[in-house]
Amino acid sequence: MGFLDYFRNARRKQKATGSAQQAKERLQIIVAREGGRRQTPDFIPSMKRELLEVVRKYVTVEQDQVNVKVEREGDYEVLELNITLPDEEERAT
């Protein structure tokens, strides 16, 4: 540290904590409150796979005949599961 810094530091002491710390604290609060990332629960892809396995025990369905959608309305989420069952004749075979 240079000797001139001695005088500069005296001035700098006033803002010892730095504004970055303030920015971080404010952001942490706002990000937690706004919950920008209410993610789709990550168990859904594996649940989709398992549901499909159960259905396949009884009927033959392809991957693309199953449609899973998660929709969000206000505070609650709706899980929509759509499975197209094969025709009567196909099922008999």
Partner 1 sequence: MAKIIVVTSGKGGVGKTTTTASFAVGLAQRGHKTVAVDFDVGLRNLDLIMGCERRVVYDFVNVINGEANLNQALIKDKRVENLYVLPASQTRDKEALTKEGVAKTLEELSKSFDFIVCDSPAGIEHGALMAMYYADEALIVTNPEVSSVRDSDRILGILASKSRRAEEVEEPVREHLVITRYAPERVSEGEMLGMDDIIEILGVPLLGVIPESQAVLNSSNAGTPVILTEGSDAGQAYTDLVARFLGDERAHRFLTAEKKGFMRRWFGG
Q: Does 40 bind partner 1 (CB under 8 A)?
A: yes
Q: Does 78 bind partner 1 (CB under 8 A)?
A: no
> Using the rule CB under 8 A, which residue among 11, 14, 36, 63 binds partner 1?
36
CA 76 to chain centre: 15
Which C-beta is closer to partner 1: that of 64 or that of 89? 64
CB 61, CB 68: distance < 8 Å: no
In what helix (H) or strand (E) does residue 22 lie, and over which residues does it extend?
A: helix 19-34
Q: Does 34 bind partner 1 (CB under 8 A)?
A: yes
Give the list of residues 6+ apart from residue 86 with CB closer than 8 angstroms, or none: 59, 60, 61
Contacts to partner 1 by CB under 8 A: 1-5, 8, 15, 17-21, 23-24, 26-28, 30-31, 34-40, 42, 44-45, 48, 67-70, 72
